[in-house]
Amino acid sequence: MMFQTNARADLCDKARVLSMRYGNQGGAEALCGAIREDFPGRIGLVSSFGSDSAVLLHMVAQIDPRVPVIFLQTQKHFPETIAYRDTLVRHLGLRNIQNITPRPAHLKADDPRGELHKSDPDLCCHVRKTLPLLVALRSLSCWITGRKRYQTPTRGKMALFEAEDRWIKMNPLAAWNAADIADYMRDHCLPEHPLKPMGYMSIGCAPCTRAVKYGEDVRAGRWAESDKTECGIHFVNGRMVRGAPG
Ligand code: SF4
C-alpha cells in the first residue's frame, strides 16, 4: 500500500515537472520532446479519428510515424469515420495503427443485442472503450490525448501532463482553440472528416452523435438525448470516472 502511495506521488511529481519544463503550453515542440526524450518507445496516441484528430496525427507522423496510434474500434462508428481513418493513415504515412476492439465475451455478457447504448450508455462505453483501452495501454507509460481547455469547463484547468492511474497523460493541444485547429488544418492541407461540413463538430459513435445546430456548443451533439456528456476513457485516482472526457 505504501509503495502504491509513493508510486502515485512520484507520478504526480513527474507530471508537474514535465508540465513546467514545457511551459504548460504544448504543441509540436513538447510533443517531440515527449516522444523522443521523455518516453521513447513507451508513448502512444489515442485517436478517435474525429473532426480535430488530423492535427495531432499529423504532428506525430512528422516526429515518428512508428508511434502507436490506438483507435478504439467500438464497432459503432460511422462508416465515414472508418473511411477517414484509412484516408489519414495513407495520407500521413502512419505505420503503427492499432485497432482495438471490445472482447467478444464482454459484448456477449453485457450487450448481446448491440443496443446497450440505449439503456446504459456508461456501461456501453465501459465495455466498448474503457476496458479495451486498459489492455492497449499495458505496454505504455504515457498516452497522448487531443483534449483542449476551451472545450468544456471541466477541461479549463487541464495541465499539459497529468498523472492518471499508472500513466502519464499528455494533452499537447490543451492551450489550442478552434481557430488554431482550423489554421493548422489549412496550413498543412489536411483532409477534413467527411461529416464535419454537415455540422458534426465532435464525432463519436454513430448512435450517440448528431450534428450540432447553429449556436450550439461544439459538443452538444454527443449523447444529445441524455445528460451524459463524456465517454469515460479517463480515470482519476485509479478509478474510471463515469462521465469523464473522451
Ligand atoms: S459512445 Fe455510445 S455506442 Fe459508443 S461506446 Fe459509448 S454508449 Fe456505446
Q: Where are the domains of the chain?
A: 2-198
What pLDDT, on the 0 to 100 scale, is given for residue 230?
Answer: 67
What pLDDT, on the 0 to 100 scale, is given for residue 155?
Answer: 82
For residues 88 and 101, the answer to whether their CB atoms sit within 8 Å is no
The pLDDT of residue 2 is above 60 = no
For the CA of 206, the nearest atom of ligand 1: 3
Distance 129 CA to ligand 1 centre (A): 8
What pLDDT, on the 0 to 100 scale, is given for residue 152?
Answer: 76
Closest CA to 45 of 131, 146, 123, 119: 146
Instruction: Quote the DSSP letter at residue 54.
Output: H
What pLDDT, on the 0 to 100 scale, is given for residue 243?
Answer: 39
What pLDDT, on the 0 to 100 scale, is given for residue 244?
Answer: 37
132 lines ligand 1 (CB under 6 A): no
The pLDDT of residue 215 is above 90 = no
What pLDDT, on the 0 to 100 scale, is given for residue 238?
Answer: 42
Q: Copy the grid coordinates of residue 63.
A: 516526429
For residues 133 and 101, the answer to whether their CB atoms sit within 8 Å is no
Choosing from 101, 107, 129 the residue with most ligand 1 atoms within 8 A of its CB, the one to mutate for a pocket test is 129
CATH number for the region 2-198 comes to 3.40.50.620
The pLDDT of residue 241 is above 70 = no
Query: Which CA distances in Å does 68 have to 43, 100, 118, 217?
Result: 7, 12, 32, 31
pTM of the model: 0.90
Give the closest residue (by CA) to ligand 1 atom 5.
125
Please state, for a pLDDT cut of 70, what percent of the chain lies above it. 91
Distance 65 CA to ligand 1 centre (A): 29
What pLDDT, on the 0 to 100 scale, is given for residue 157?
Answer: 87
Average pLDDT for 131-156: 91
Nearest 5 degrees, angle CA 142-CA 234-CA 46?
Answer: 50
Maximum alpha-carbon separation in the chain: 53
233 lines ligand 1 (CB under 6 A): no
125 lines ligand 1 (CB under 6 A): yes
CA 179 to CA 218: how far, in whole Å?
A: 13
142 classed as catalytic: no
Q: Copy the grid coordinates of residue 142.
A: 504515457
Average pLDDT for 27-54: 96
What pLDDT, on the 0 to 100 scale, is given for residue 246?
Answer: 42
C-alpha torsion sign, points 97, 90, 35, 55: negative
Closest CA to 170 of 9, 8, 31, 2: 31
Give the position of cell 514545457.
Answer: 22
